[in-house]
Amino acid sequence: MSTATRTSAETIELFDKYVIGNYRRYPISLVRGDGSRVWDAEGQCYLDLFPGWGCNILGYSPHKVIQAVQEQVARLIHVPNTWYMEPQGEFAEAICTRGFGKAFFCNSGAESLEGAIKLARLSTPPEKYKIITFENGFHGRTFAAVTATAQPKYHEGFGPLVPGFVYAPHNDLEAVRNLVDDETCAILIEPVQGEGGVNTPAEGFLQGLRDLCDERGMRLVFDEVQTGMARTGNWFAYQTFGVQPDIMTMAKGIAAGVACGAIIATEEVAPALRPGIHASTFGGNPIAMAAGLATVQTIEEEGLLDNVNRMSERFREYFEGLQKELPIIEEIRICGMMIGLDLAIESTPAVKKCMERGLLINATHDTVIRLLPALNLTDEDFEEGCAILTEVLREMAEEAAA
């Protein structure tokens, strides 16, 4: 069954004429999905181990979220933040009682970073403004967020960037310590770097940053846009690593694919966002809030934290086994349902080879195969996905050896 009225080729033609070409797109128009499966306009089915670029944490058809959105959209589509609205209060409660502090809502990851950067500066003395971020980090595309992103390829041609950002090598506490001065207000880091290649923190690194922030009166900001909302096997990655940030950003999966972002701040820091100083017109809108609340409920009711931890172990065992056969897999980096396979060869060709066999994956940072499976991935999906990926990796290993 296809719900499309146009073929992929016809939709591509529309894009060529009317949509700015700033994305490299696969030549396929997707029309509907169910669980971890998605169909294109021609009726071809794909198993997706990277659904919605990490946003579709409950797969393509989360029933409770669909229902919550349908009910909310019929009641109230939008209410400005000059009024109170029940869904926003309820979603804030759902997040903060599982995490900490208080919430501010916005619409995207970059927007949550912009707010968090302002809040870090606002909540420290005026002479403090510098923010330390990490090489190979990723924080979004707006000006402050892209400046915080310490990867030159994202800066080309945009200068001058936003002043006040300082870059440190990842997992090097001594280097960070040496970069701190009396003007440093915050350290901003992804607990697990996503786009930069699924880079996990070295033992004690995040705690070292916490201690440094406490010593020097700085804010510790965790960018949990990708790691938040059960992705790492706890509600938030800070819990997985046992290190409490002052400020946390979220987006991507927090409303199971409905556009939504959030900042969480401790009771001490939060009041710096006082009336008039920061705002977002669509932030906290009732549709996104209803979707977010239904997302939390689904994770809880379906025991998805357990599923993440169970599947994560299955992936680890599977790939560790495969690594013995295929030494082109140089390193396996897994944290919950964030999975990175660092190859000895370029990872990009794997994407096309998998797609031809009906499997969707991601390649990042030149050599890394990245999977961000839905938290409700089934054993059947796991087995099929691993089988296809294995076939492709074997083929790539043979080609590399030839």
Per CB under 6 A, residues contacting ligand PLP are: 108-110, 113, 138-140, 190, 194-195, 223, 225-226, 251-252
Element (H, E) at 186: strand 184-189
- CB closer to ligand PLP out of 142 and 244: 142
| Residue 63 beta carbon to ligand PLP: minimum distance, rounded to whole angstroms | 25
| Residue 177 beta carbon to ligand PLP: minimum distance, rounded to whole angstroms | 24
Cβ 392 vs Cβ 341: under 8 Å: no
* Residue of closest CB approach to ligand PLP: 109
- Bridge-based pairing state of the strands 368-371 and 362-364: antiparallel
- Cα separations (Å) of 19 from 22, 53, 259, 352, 374? 9, 20, 20, 24, 29
| Residue 141 beta carbon to ligand PLP: minimum distance, rounded to whole angstroms | 6
| Residue 194 beta carbon to ligand PLP: minimum distance, rounded to whole angstroms | 4
- CB closer to ligand PLP out of 141 and 394: 141
Concatenate the DSSP letters of all residues of 17-76 into one string. Answer: HHS---S---S--EEEEETTEEEETT--EEEESSGGGGT-TT-S--HHHHHHHHHHHHH-
Task: Please classify residue 342 by burial: count the beta carbons closer than 10 Å to its beta carbon, then call 0-12 exposed, 13-18 middle and 19+ buried.
Answer: buried
- CB closer to ligand PLP out of 44 and 136: 136
- CB closer to ligand PLP out of 260 and 311: 260
Cβ 279 vs Cβ 80: under 8 Å: no
| Residue 222 beta carbon to ligand PLP: minimum distance, rounded to whole angstroms | 10
- CB closer to ligand PLP out of 8 and 199: 199
| Residue 223 beta carbon to ligand PLP: minimum distance, rounded to whole angstroms | 5
- CB closer to ligand PLP out of 199 and 367: 199
Sign of the dihedral through C-alpha 369, 170, 183, 272: positive
Q: Which residues pair with 184 in a beta bridge?
A: 130
Element (H, E) at 105: strand 102-106
Backbone phi and psi for residue 330, each to the nearest 5 degrees, phi listed first? -80, -40
| Residue 305 beta carbon to ligand PLP: minimum distance, rounded to whole angstroms | 20
DSSP code for 202: P
- CB closer to ligand PLP out of 108 and 285: 108
Task: Please classify residue 209 by burial: count the beta carbons closer than 10 Å to its beta carbon, then call 0-12 exposed, 13-18 middle and 19+ buried.
Answer: buried
| Residue 234 beta carbon to ligand PLP: minimum distance, rounded to whole angstroms | 17
- CB closer to ligand PLP out of 329 and 360: 360
Give the end-to-end CA distance of the chain in Å, rounded to a whole number.
42
Question: Please, which residues have CB within 8 angstroms of residue 110's CB and are 6 or more apart in sequence?
Answer: 139, 140, 141, 142, 145, 146
- CB closer to ligand PLP out of 195 and 381: 195
| Residue 112 beta carbon to ligand PLP: minimum distance, rounded to whole angstroms | 8
- CB closer to ligand PLP out of 41 and 117: 117
Element (H, E) at 267: none
Question: Please, which residues have CB within 8 angstroms of residue 131's CB and are 6 or more apart in sequence?
Answer: 117, 120, 121, 148, 164, 165, 166, 184, 185, 186, 187, 188, 221
Q: Give the separation between CA 238 and CA 234, rounded to whole angstroms.
A: 9
